[in-house]
Structure formats: C-alpha cells, structure tokens
Chains A and B, each alone.
Chain A
C-alpha cells in the first residue's frame, strides 16, 4: 500500500520534471517520462529501508519493500524494452551540470540527468532488475539471522546498488555513467564490509575500493579526454559528432593511421576503468576477496551485474574502441591472460565460493576477449547467460553455506544433493555447472562458442594463439566446475559444520530458533561432525529463487535461436551503439593492412583447422568440455570414499610446486605486496624520517633560538633586590658620567 502511494506521488513528481526538461539532445528522440521511474524506484526503496531502520523494524518488511520496488522496476524495464522500436531515445529529468567559459565550441560543459535508452540499455536493465528482484527474495531468507538494523542496512545498500547500476547503464552521458560507476563501487564496498566486525571482511572491502580507485582514475581521465577531444560527453551527441563519423569513415576506408593519437588514447583510458571494475589483470585481485560479503551480494554484484559494467562500458563506447588500433588488442591479451590465470587458480582452491569467484574473473576475461575479437554480440550474450548461471551457482553455494553454518571447504562436505531437502539445490547446481562448463546445448555453451569462434575469425596480433588459450581455459573451466560438483554435491554423504554458529553468537543473535525447524536432517548426522549441529535445508524463498534461476539459465539458451545470426541478444546488440557488423570487414581489412605480409595468409575469413570456425567450434568446444568433465569425474568422483581425499591427491606430488603455487594464487597478492605495499611502506617511513628530522628540526631550531637568547640573559635576573639596585645605581651613574662627558 505504502509503495503504491509513494509511486503515485513520485510518478507525478517525475512527470513534472520531465515536462519541465528541455528536449535538446542532438538527433535522438525524446523518450517516455516513466523511464525515470526505473532508477527512482530503488531510491524510494532505499528511503523506505532507512525509515524501517529508524523505526527499528525487526521483521522482514525491508525485504518485501525491496522486492516490490525492484519488481516494479523490472516490470518497467520490460515495458521499456517492449516499447522500444529500434533506434534510441533520451529522457531528460533535468539539466544537471551546465557551465560555459566562452562562446566557442568546446567551451561549454553540459550534462543532463537523463537516460539514454537503446536495445543495449534494455538488455542490461532487464537482467539487472530481474536478477536483483530474485536475489532480494533469496536474501530475505538468507539474511534472516540478522533481522533488525543489519537487515535494513543490507537492503538499503542493496537498493542503492540497483539505483547506481541503473544510472550506470541508463545514463545519457559519460558523467551519469561515472556517477553510477562510483555508486556501485561504494555499494560494493558497503556490502563486502557488511560483517564489519570481521577484520578480513573490512580488509576485503578496503581492497576492493582501492583497487577500483586505480581503474576509476583511468575512467575519469578517459571521460575528460573525451570532452577535450570531442567537446561533449553526451552519447547521442558523441555518436553523431562529425569527428567520430569521420574516424569511422577513415576506418572503413582502411586508414586507421589517419585517426589522431588522442582519439586512439581515449579508449585505452576507458579500458583501464573497465579493467578495474570488471576485475581484469592486473586489477583482478579484489574480486576473490570480495567473497567476504554475504552470498546474495556476491551473486548479484560480484558475479552477475556490477562486474559486467566494464563490458558494458566498452560495448557502449564501442565506436570509440573501434577507432583505436591499440585498445582492442590490449583488451584481447589482458582478457585471455586473466581467463587463463584465474582458471588455473580456481583449479587449486578448496573454498567453493572462492572457486566461483575466480571462475567469474575467468569468465569476465572471456567477455573482454569477445569484445576484442569484434564479437560484441558474443560478449553481451555471454554476459547475459553468465548472469543467470553464475547467480545460480553462487546462490547454491550460499544455500550450502547457510545450511552448514558457513562451511565452504569442499574437503569437508560431500553428497549434499542426496541429503533430505537439498534436492533443488543439487539440481540447480548441476544446471549451473553444466552451463559454466559449456555442456552442449546449455546457454553457456552457445555464448562461449560465439567468442571462441570469433577468436579464429578475427585477425589481430596473435589472436589465433589467444583462441587456443581460450579453448584450453574452457577445458580447465569444465574441470574445476565439476570438481566442485563431484566433491560437494554427490558422493558419500558427509559434512562438518563451519564456525559461523559461534560467529552468530558473537553478534548477539539467537540462532537456536533458526535451527529449530531443521530436525528433519537428523538422520544424515555422522559421527565426528560436530555435537549439536543439524544442517538446515533451504526454505521456500531460497528454493523458489534457485528453481527460477536454474530455469532461466536453461531458457537463456533459447535466446540463441530467436532470430538469425546469434539470436536475440545479438539482434539487441546490433541495433545499439555496440554494433560491429557494418565495420567488421573494413576493420578486418584495416588490421590486415597494418600487418602487411600476413594479409595473404589469412583470407577475408579466418579458419580453424582448415574449417569454418563458426561451424566446427560447436564440436571442438563440446569435446573439450567433455574432456574437462571426464577428468573431474575420474579424479574427484570415481572411487572416492571420504570427503577429504580423492584420486587427485595422488597426482599432486607429480605436479610438484605448480599445484602449491596455484593454490597460493600464483603469489600475486604477495607479489603486489612486494612490488607496491613494501616500497610504499619503506617510502612512507623515509618521508616520516624526513618530516621528523628536517621539517620538525627546522621548526624546533626556530623555537630553540629565542630560548637560547633568553638563557643567556636570564642569569641577570637573580631575584635579589640588591642586584637590581646595583644595576639601577650603576645605570644612573653611567647616565651622569655620560652627561658630564658631553657637557665638558
């Protein structure tokens, strides 16, 4: 009831704003006013959660307010998509920034608080709001041990995240994008550090924030340089600007070297921002640590939506990226490098949530590679499918963590799917794993194929090699994914509870009531696995969300078959600014022209083992996926009798230090520590010394001088009356003598 009233009032308010706003964006048509409601509804939810916090609400009210508001935002996003008939439209709420320092071109800076809607926006908003609604529903149960202030805080930050993400995705200019970009960074920080009494969570939150800051610097510089070079930060004006049109024409004519270096540098800077937010080399280290946050947050922010902001940024400004001969090759190499590195780390981890986190980093690498291989459709499709299946996987891990008191070690859990009440979790996990492993006819299979095939089609510096690396990574992905599944979800039934029961006691929550309904799983209790602990299987909200998400992960594959040439997502991408088709061949020609002699080796269309990559890749990647799954089956399922050991343990000694190094994450954190933190520590101590010796010394010397002067004359002040009298008499005598002398 409250929401409907709120919506009515705010609807009228924004309607007024929209009618006041002036439609003056170059070329683009004016969109419907209610588009503004999509970011506004989450903000309303933030306010309501704040009111709940002030009113000390100790029920699940904030969660239901959130679900209703986000559900309404999803409905509006759907409406926005259905109403969109090609092209784009802009809805301006009000003119946000406007100042001029001259009359000439490029001497006036304007930014609207407006929303640019095209098919790419719709695609992103659909899965952002849809997943946010589902995950809020999941979190309503998952966070139930923290009812009260913490619950309100969680959902307030959650809604603020959706608002920021909506600004990021829907903003009509780069300033709006930057606003959203910083907003999601802030919410990510707040939610990672949700358990603020836990030092590791606080450290992880700081790490995420600082790492993102490095990337954000690149983004900010990129936005500034965009304004300096193009004179605008507005998407519609930017894409319609004569300069950019000229560059695109030069690109099509194969004269990429005619594009000025400044224009080629802009995407390089934007790319650094994308690397930070989307956890690519060298800035990826924050994402695995971000798993300290509550699992719904990991699923929504650190797997499905926020981390794809980098992909969105590149897709949104794709015309700029196409005009640079440096940016996309760097993106390709970094993306593939990240994919391989994090896949190898994921293979050696034992914490299932960390495995999923490294898997996210790896899959983001695939998406970046897809963008670089001129397959923005493939990248966007992978973002889309990954959002569903990775959210499923994370929420399954979360259900396990919730049920087993924080246990995430795959050596201490086994056969979970066979336990009573865990069937839906097991099936959802299986569907998620099949998708991630690229099992034939799963959604992940098709989206990964689009990227893999393009690697062999698109010519570029070492792209064929990168394609082989990506294939290898796909195999590793299948292995580590099913390693988790075979270890944790099937096999002999066994569990050890985690240590979170005590942690909850520290928080002052009464957990006994929470576990009262979990007596049904008593029969699975094994000796030596804790005294009074009973795992509680997920309740209706978690099971419902898992079922819906698993279903969506399956259904997402169908999107590939809607329409031709890449399916529904590809059509959406090709109708937006992220389109590549019309420059595809020309860009190919440009790359080939740049690389001289190689032009004859590669035909207009690359080949893979003498075949057309688009056709043969289905079979190749399916085979590689099968090999990965089979290896995991043999090593981690066949003949395994306990949770802690498997056949893979026998292989470890033959691998030597490689396995240990991978388990220790290739010592990247230690390397950064050595490369950046230690020198900074030394440097700061040197500065401290300089401050103490030089600066303080100078100041102290200045203070010392008057003290010394005083010291030298203080002896004359004896305090004895006669001394003063002698001085006085002497003075009078001296004056008398002086007068006598001058009057002689």
Chain B
C-alpha cells in the first residue's frame, strides 16, 4: 500500500492542487533535515530541536494520511503526540540546563561515561 501511495504521489501531476504527496514530501524533507541535524550537530539544544523537528515531520505525515483517508484516528493521535512532546520538551530542556551547569558546556561528546 505504501508503494502505491509513493508511486502515485512522489511527483504530483496537477501543480494547482495540493495532494497527499506534497504533504508527505514536506514531511520527509523535515524528517531528513532533523536526522541530518541530529547527526551532525554537537550542541545539545540544537540536537534537541532536531528531534522536535522529526516529531513534527511524523505529525504532518499522520495528519496528511488522516485527511486522505477521512479518518480522525491520525489527528487524535497527533494531539497526544504533541502533548507528550511538550512534556518531554520541558523535561529535556531542564536536563540540558542541569548538564550545562555541571560542565559549562553543551557539547554532547562531553558525556561518554556509558562507554563499554
């Protein structure tokens, strides 16, 4: 089914109307940017923002599918994801602040104590 969707929507034929493919394209680009940012940057806050971006990419994809299939499950799911993401963001930022206080530094490579 995924193959069908991707095959139909990768490059939309009608430029005037927004199709599912557009949304998924935006979502994919956002997700890819998030992954790239997460992998390449060393600043903990930036990396955290990248994860938020991947979250929102997934959210966009879910809402797009929800609209496409005229089914509200995806949208309600996204509401929950947003709520959890907000809570998690509060937590994560607090942790980041604590880490910063400890080392005066936000480089993710500073913390490698779990090495085997």
Contact = CB atoms under 8 A, between A and B. Distances in A.
A718 B112 contact: yes
Interface in B71-116: 108-109, 111-116
A729 B35 contact: yes
Count chain B CB atoms within 10 A of each CB in A715, A716, A718, A726 and give the residue with the most. Answer: A718
Interface string A706-741: 000000011111111110011001000000000100
A722 B108 contact: yes
Contact of B109 (A722, A729, A739): A722
Contact of A721 (B2, B3, B111, B116): B111
A72 to B, nearest CB: 82
B35 A720 contact: no
Contact of B112 (A714, A719, A726, A743): A719
Given A725-B38, A726-B39, A729-B39, A720 B109 contact: yes
A725 B42 CA distance: 12
A719 B2 contact: no
Contacts of A715: 116
A715 B39 CA distance: 20
A716 to B, nearest CB: 7
A719 B115 CA distance: 4
A714 B39 contact: no
Given A722-B109, A739-B2, A743-B2, A717 B115 contact: yes
A701 to B, nearest CB: 23
Nearest to B31: A732
B interface residue count range (under 10 / 10 to 19 / 20 to 34 / 35 or more):
10 to 19
B38 A718 contact: no
Contacts of A743: 2-3
Interface in B39-61: 39, 42, 47
A15 B112 CA distance: 87
A396 to B, nearest CB: 83
Contacts of B35: 729
A717 B109 contact: no
Nearest to B38: A725
Interface in A336-351: none
A interface residue count range (under 10 / 10 to 19 / 20 to 34 / 35 or more):
10 to 19
Nearest to A716: B116
B114 A719 contact: yes
B7 to A, nearest CB: 10
B116 A714 contact: yes
B116 A717 contact: yes
A716 B115 CA distance: 9
Nearest to B35: A729
A285 B44 CA distance: 86
B115 A718 contact: yes
Contacts of A739: 2
A709 to B, nearest CB: 13
A730 to B, nearest CB: 10
A714 B115 CA distance: 8
A721 to B, nearest CB: 5
Nearest to B36: A729
Contacts of A713: 116
A716 B39 CA distance: 17
A718 B39 contact: no
Nearest to B42: A722
Nearest to A742: B3
B4 to A, nearest CB: 9
A720 B115 contact: yes
Interface string A256-300: 000000000000000000000000000000000000000000000
Nearest to B44: A721
A27 B84 CA distance: 99
A726 B47 CA distance: 13
B13 to A, nearest CB: 22
B2 A720 contact: no
A715 B115 CA distance: 8
A719 B113 contact: yes
B1 to A, nearest CB: 9
Interface of B: 2-3, 35, 38-39, 42, 47, 108-109, 111-116
30 contacts: A716-B116, A717-B114, A717-B115, A717-B116, A718-B112, A718-B116, A719-B111, A719-B112, A719-B113, A719-B114, A719-B115, A719-B116, A720-B108, A720-B109, A720-B112, A720-B115, A721-B47, A721-B109, A721-B111, A722-B39, A722-B42, A722-B109, A725-B38, A725-B39, A726-B39, A729-B35, A729-B38, A729-B39, A739-B2, A743-B3
Given A719-B114, A721-B109, A722-B39, 7 more contacts: A714-B116, A717-B115, A718-B116, A720-B112, A720-B115, A722-B108, A729-B38
List the 8 shortest-distance A-B pairs measured between CB atoms, nearest first.
Answer: A717-B116, A719-B115, A714-B116, A719-B112, A719-B114, A743-B3, A721-B108, A720-B112
